[in-house]
Structure 1
Amino acid sequence: MHSATPEATQEAGEQAELELLAERRARHRAERVRNRRPSSGGARRFMALGCASAILSVSAFGAVAAASAEDETRLAAARDSSAESTANRDVISAPVSIAKRPTVTSGLSTAAVPFTGGAQVTVAGEQLDQVGQVVVGGVAAPIVTATSDQLTFQVPAVADTALGDVAVAFTDAAGTPVAVATPGTATVAGAAAPASLAAQLTEIEQAEVHAPGPSLTLTYTSSPAIDAQVGYVLTHWNSYNTAAYTVLSGVDCANFASQSLVARGWAMEAGWYYDRETGAMSPSWSSSTAMRDWLYSRPDLATPLDDSQRGSVKVGDIAQFDWDGSGDRDHTAVVTRVERSDNGIAVWVGGHTKDADYWNVDEALASGGGSVTYFSLE
């Protein structure tokens, strides 16, 4: 036998090692299950899971971080929007103007008037052409003229027993009370609204709740001249004053009415007179038609009215009747009472021939027919 040389032995070992390595590789590829190494496989799995967890953690943290940043942006935007909304609610860039309503800013031009009515009273203010009604002592007073800054109304008559102070109230076309702001009082009607909404609401509430009510007062007084005239009628309607005047039997109505005007203070003149010494009298003194014509010629003393103008009739005025519709005047009397109610205006007269102290005009027309006209005396 030949002994192997060292070189041959080394070469053979190397070859065997190569073959074994080739075998292991072939088996590793074909027999994966049997080729696993429990100790090294567990370590590799642990490391793989750890890496995956780390990757997921990093990804999740990135997502959470991104979400947090986005939410913070949204919250900041919401805070800005809320602040802007609050600012818009609290501050109005342009003040809102409250529409002006009628307001009386002065006292009455006349503080006292005769109970007979007819006097005209004026007030000043703003938007007064929007006033729909004036009420004096609970009675509607006709509006004579009305402009934006001035209104004039006619005082209604009252009974001679209703003297004293009465309230004067104003309402607009809708019936809403008109504010009265005379010197010394205040009103917010028509004021410009401030910028703050809260202040606007407060001002509107005050305007609605605290707007001044009627504060103007008119005093009805007795008229000495009219008192004397009506007093004469009520004294002598059934007790003729024969000591001073002639009685015209059956046609004494105009004669008696003329006597009452003298008691009122009227002075006789060439066109209207009575001569006590001789008993002579002008036609205008004793004839209803002639009296009408004379009063037509004296607009400084009297203003003619028809029955549709009964609202202007007052105590002491002259009433004349045309019983037959001929156009002449058949009867003359003196107005002794005027009453206004929801049913309308009632007028009473006193006089001679139809001797009466209070004869209702409507009853007179119903019984005698015809028509009635008036002279409103100054």
Structure 2
Amino acid sequence: MALGCAAAIAGVSAFGAVAASADSDRDTTSTTTARAAAASSAAAADTIAASAAEVDEAPTVTSDLSVAAAPFTGGTQVSVTGEGLDEVASVTVGGASADIVAADAAHVTFAVPAVAEDALGTAAEVRFADAAGQAIGAETPTAVVAAGTSVVQPLEGVLTGASAPKAPTAPRTLTLTYTSDPGIDAQVGYVLAYWSEYNSDVYPVISGYDCANFASQSLLARGWTMDDGWNLDLATGAMSPSWASSTALRDYLNTRPDRATPLDDSQRGLVKVGDIAQFDWDSSGDRDHTAVVTRVERTDDGTKIWVGGHTKDADFWDVDTALATGGGSVSYFSIR
């Protein structure tokens, strides 16, 4: 019995020791888990989860105009860069509509519209708008982060999930200055120099109908080069029909869209100095007289045009007066 009791006591003691050890392990594990949870909670408390930041996606022009000045005769292509520019639906320069040549999300290219000569030297505001007519602004970044700069964020109080803020911007106005065109200056200068004193030392004169011959001379002064369809042999005086005849000149220009665009009188708003005006006095369909546009005025009442030329020797002949006197109709070629 004594041995049995001793064994029983020893067994209980051993069991008790094992149980105590297990309890100790459980306590240690619980403590570790609790500490990890507390650390996790503390980290979570130090991090603020932010909702996705709203980014301004409105289309914006962010560059200067690729060309700061352009001839008043129009046609110069100008580009800008920015964001969301595929939404640009219209461009105006000084209030005049400009044709959009190309547009994508990052770029817009437009053609400068032709304006009256009195716009020379003026700085015309360039504006962009979307399909709804809402203005698309031009902005300049006012702060720039240098490339390669690393930003170290603090461990506490960090916003997670937030988009990096954009550099602040400032609104601005884009302007284009209208300049003269050397070619047109030379052309009109030639007309004004020889409308009454014919340049017979250089060119032959066609008595009684020298108008197309003189207009062709002005185009040569402008910088045009002769070709198989439009030419003059100065040595012999031989001329192509298109050089000397108003109707033949019309037919030639209609085959050369790279050189000229036909306009009727309802399109006076597109006519510019240096263009060709042609009159059909008897409404036969032929062209009876050719002249060079020497002055254009645009007012709230409409567009007034003056021409210079030979046969009806004139430097500034009012087109409306010409029509009232001779009857018929007038048409034009916008010269490129």
TM-score normalised over the length of structure 1: 0.60
Query: What is the distance in 1 between the residues matched to 2:317 and 2:77?
Result: 28
CA positional deviation for 1:237: 1.5
Q: Greater share of helix residues, 1 or 2?
A: 1
Specify which of 228, 232, 242 is matched with residue 270 of structure 1: 228
Pick the aligned partner of 2:281 from 296, 315, 323: 323
Structure 2 residue runs of 5 or longer lacking an equivalent are 1-48, 144-164
Q: How many residues are paired up?
A: 270
Matches of 1:366 and 1:122, distance apart in 2:
44
8 A Cα contact 2:90 2:100, kept in partner: no
Counterpart residue number, 1:348: 306
Residues 211/321 of structure 1: CA separation in 2 closer, same or farther (3 Å cut): farther
8 Å contact from structure 2 (residues 139, 170) kept in 1: no
Distance of aligned partners of 1:323 and 1:120 in 2 relative to their CA distance in 1, 3 Å threshold:
farther
Rounded Cα–Cα distance in structure 2 between residues aligned with 1:144 and 1:328: 35
Question: Are residue 290 (structure 1) and residue 276 (structure 2) matched?
Answer: no
> For the residues of structure 2 that align with 1:229 and 1:212, how far apart are their CA atoms?
41
Aligned match of 1:124 in 77, 81, 91?
81
Question: In 1, Cα distance between the equivalents of 2:185 and 2:199?
Answer: 18
Tell me, yes or no, if structure 1 residue 248 matches structure 2 residue 223: no
- In the alignment, does 2:63 pair up with 1:106? yes
Per the alignment, residue 98 of structure 2 pairs with 142
Correspondence for 2:333: 375
Residue 263 of structure 1 aligns to a residue whose secondary structure is helix
Aligned to 1:225: 183
Tell me, in whole angstroms, the C-alpha distance in 2 between the residues paired with 1:127 and 1:306.
38
Q: Against the structure 1 CA distance between its residues 105 and 361, is the aligned structure 2 distance closer, same or farther, given a 3 Å change threshold? A: farther
Structure showing greater radius of gyration is 1
Other-structure match for 1:193: none
CA contact (8 A) 2:88 2:103 kept: no
SS in 2 for 1:354: coil
CA contact (8 A) 1:177 1:213 kept: no
Mark the CA change 1:356 to 1:144 in structure 2 (over 3 Å): closer, same or farther.
farther
Determine if the alignment matches structure 1 residue 115 to structure 2 residue 72: yes
| 2:219 corresponds to 1:261 | yes
Q: Which structure features the higher share of strand residues?
A: 2
CA contact (8 A) 1:111 1:218 kept: yes
Gap runs ≥5 in structure 1:
1-90, 187-202
Partner SS for 1:123: strand
Q: Does 1:336 align with 2:297?
A: no
- Counterpart-to-counterpart distance in 2, 1:371 and 1:213: 46
Q: How far has the Cα of 1:337 moved from its partner?
A: 2.4
Deviation at 1:93, TM superposition (A): 5.6
Which of 104, 114, 120 lines up with 1:163 in the alignment?
120
- Aligned-residue offset at 1:369: 3.3
Amino acid paired to 1:347 = I
Q: Which residue of 2 aligns with 1:212?
A: 171
Contact 1:113/1:221 (8 A) holds in 2:
yes
Cα deviation 1:128-150 (Å, max 9, x = unaligned): 465565443x3413333564534
1:154 paired with 2:111, answer yes
SS in structure 2 opposite 1:142? strand
Aligned mates of 2:210, 2:278 — CA distance in 1: 13
Q: The residue matched to 1:106 in structure 2 has which SS?
A: coil
| Cα distance, 1:374–1:125 mapped onto 2, change above 3 Å | farther
Cα distance per residue 1:245-293 (max 9 Å; x no partner): 2222331110110110121122233332223343322211110011112
Q: Which has the higher contact order (CA 8 A, sep 6+)?
A: 2
Is the contact between residue 117 and residue 296 of structure 2 (CA under 8 Å) also seen in structure 1? no
Give per-residue Cα distances to partners, 1:352-376, cap 9 Å, x unaligned: 2222222333443344333333222
The 8 Å contact of residues 157 and 338 in structure 1, kept in 2 or not, is answered as: no
What RMSD in Å do the two structures reach over aligned CA positions? 3.7
- Cα distance in 1 for partners of 2:244, 2:327 equals 23
CA distance in 2: counterparts of 1:175 and 1:342, whole angstroms: 23
Question: Is the 8 Å Cα contact of residues 104 and 178 (structure 1) preserved in structure 2?
Answer: yes
Identity %: 65
Amino acid at match of 1:212: P
Is this contact kept in 2: 1:102–1:172, CA < 8 A?
no
Task: Confirm or deny: 8 A CA contact 1:128 1:146 kept in the other structure.
Answer: no
User: Is the partner of 2:311 in helix, strand or coil?
Assistant: coil
Q: Distance in 1 between matches of 2:204 and 2:111?
A: 39
Q: Partners of 2:265 and 2:309 in 1: how far apart?
A: 19
- In structure 2, distance between residues paired with 1:330 and 1:351: 13
